[in-house]
Amino acid sequence: MAVVKDTAVAAPAVRAGRLSRLLDDETRLGRLMLAPAILYIALLVGLPFFLALYFSLTDITVGSRTLHFVGLKKFHEVIHTPTFKLALKNTFIFAFVSQLLVLILAKILALALVKDFRGKWFVRLLILLPWVAPISLGSIGWLWILDSIYSVVNWVLVHWRFVREPLRLLGILDPRMPPMWLGQPELAMASIITVHVWRLLPLATVILLAGLTSIPKDIHDAAAVDGAGFWRHLFEITIPLVAPIMIVAVLFGFIFAFTDMIVIYVLTRGGPYNSTQVLASLAFFTGIDGGDLAEGAAISLFLFPLLVAAAFIFLRIARRAEVT
């Protein structure tokens, strides 16, 4: 009896000791804490990626469970098609133009928001809204704005005289035939870029804002005393100092623009006649709707090596530019 009693008392103490030993052991605790993140990356990022990589080297379709390894055949097949080439070109235009605009606009917004003024919190809230709203809903709003019949923009162009008349006299606008935002190749590309910029701007602004506020005030004061005007201050002090964080923001933006298709899917589905087709949307139409999963995977992975290289270079630059 006495023995039993003893162990009963001792057990909780031992357990508590083990737990606290674990909590004290930083190496083991660290591994334990990291486990969920690693599991998440492995299951939700790694697995789909390697699956896609594997698919692209086979002849899988959405309806088949048996598949054969065909090597790079799918890549060879698809890269010579005009649609693929067009989509590749569109992808680059889309990514570069939208990133350039995001960068410039985010910079302007962040510079404005870093200043103190009345109602700043409200403006900050407004700017964040596009990021908070689900992108599908946001895109549908834009679909409406740019619609061929019910476009708000066109309504303004046609019904507001002081807008219509100057444009008409300049020969930019034909009130009987207002612009088809999603129906003319250049306008459609401009439209999806606009929506993409609208969508990414909040994040880029917030990142840059964080970068700007991390610059010590003394540095700005020193530059002011040293005689720097607005542009010199911007280009020689502010931008170089936020450069590392800006590069990371740009990298994210680029990868996002290269791999995302939701805006295009909702607004144009690649049209008119493939003029806004990007690799991501083409991959979806080919792989899921068209059924050739392997070719879809090949299309979507085509730029992967390029993106990895870009990420590597960007991060290197960011590290080199790092300042303390």
Partner 1 sequence: MAIVEARNVKKYFGEVKAVDGVDLATREGEFLVLLGPSGCGKTTLLRMIAGLEKPTAGEIVIGGQVVNDLPPRARRIAMVFQSYALYPHMTVFRNIAFPLKAQGVPKAMRKDKVLWSASMFGITHLLQRKPRELSGGERQRVALARALVREPDVFLLDEPLSNLDAKLRNAARDELQQFQRRIGTTTIYVTHDQIEAMGLGDRIAVMNAGKVRQLGPPQEVYDEPADTFVAAFLGSPPMNLVEGDAVIVGFRPEQFLPAELHTAAPLVTFTFRLTRVENLGADRLLYGVLEAPFSGQRAIAKLPSTVTLSLQPGEKYPFAVPQQHLKFFDRTSGLRTAPRPL
Partner 2 sequence: MRTGKVLSRREFLKTASTVALATGVGASIIVPGRANAQRKKLRILQWNHFVPGFDEWFNNTYVKEWGEKNDTEVIVDNIGLAGLNSRAAAEVSAQKGHDLFMFLWPPPVHEDQVIDHREIYEECERRYGKAIDLAIKSTYNPKTKKFYGFSDSYVPDPINYRKDLWDDVGMFPDTWDDIRVGGRKIKQKHGNPVGIGLASEIDTNMAMRAIMYSFGSSVQDEEGNPVLKSKATLEAIKFVKALYEETMTPEVFTWDASSNNRFMLSGKGSLALNAISITRTGEKQKNPIADKIWLAKAAKGPVRRIGLEHVMDVYVIWKFAENIEGAKQFLVDYIGNFRQAFLASEFYNFPCFPQTVPDLKQLIAYDPKANPPDKYKVLEDVLDWATNVGYPGYANAAIDEVFSTWVISTMFAQAASGRLSPEEAMNQADAEVRRIFAKWKEKGKV
Residues that bind partner 1 (CB under 8 A): 216, 218-219, 221-229, 232, 236-237, 240-241, 243, 321, 323-324
Comparing CA positions, the residue from 94, 86, 87 lying closest to residue 279 is: 87
Q: Smallest gap, in angstroms, from Cβ of residue 260 to partner 2?
A: 11
Q: Smallest gap, in angstroms, from Cβ of residue 323 to partner 1?
A: 4
Answer yes or no whether residue 101 interacts with partner 2 by CB under 8 A. no
Write out the binding residues for partner 2, residues 119-158 only, by CB under 8 A.
136-137, 139-140, 143-144, 147-150
Q: Which does 221 bind (CB under 5 to 8 A by kind): partner 1, partner 2, none?
A: partner 1
Q: Which does 240 bind (CB under 5 to 8 A by kind): partner 1, partner 2, none?
A: partner 1
Q: Which does 272 bind (CB under 5 to 8 A by kind): partner 2, partner 1, none?
A: partner 2
Q: Smallest gap, in angstroms, from Cβ of residue 150 to partner 2?
A: 6
| Tokens representing residue 272 in the block | 């008119």
Cα separations in angstroms, 41 against 35, 37, 128, 298, 311 = 10, 6, 27, 22, 18
Please identify which residue in 62, 172, 210, 224 interacts with partner 2, judged by CB under 8 A: 62
In the bound state with partner 1, the residue whose beta carbon lies nearer, of 18 and 232, is 232
In the bound state with partner 2, the residue whose beta carbon lies nearer, of 61 and 100, is 61
Comparing CA positions, the residue from 250, 252, 253 lying closest to residue 242 is: 250
Answer yes or no whether residue 47 interacts with partner 2 by CB under 8 A. no
H-helix segments, the chain: 2-24, 26-40, 47-56, 73-79, 82-114, 120-132, 135-145, 152-159, 161-169, 185-213, 217-225, 230-232, 239-259, 262-267, 279-284, 293-301, 304-320
Q: Which does 46 bind (CB under 5 to 8 A by kind): partner 1, partner 2, none?
A: none
Q: How many residues at the interface with partner 2, by CB under 8 A?
A: 50
The answer to whether residues 84 and 78 touch, using CB atoms and an 8 Å cutoff, is yes
Cα separations in angstroms, 287 against 5, 103, 116, 307 = 67, 33, 50, 21
Give the sign of the dihedral formed by CA 17, CA 19, CA 24, CA 25. Answer: positive
Comparing CA positions, the residue from 310, 322, 312 lying closest to residue 240 is: 322
Q: Smallest gap, in angstroms, from Cβ of residue 220 to partner 1?
A: 9
Answer yes or no whether residue 285 interacts with partner 2 by CB under 8 A. yes
The residues with which 69 forms a beta bridge, in sequence order, are: 58
The residues of the shown chain that bind partner 2, judged by CB under 8 A, are: 59, 61-66, 77, 81-83, 136-137, 139-140, 143-144, 147-150, 176-177, 180-185, 188, 262, 265-266, 268-275, 285-286, 288-293, 295
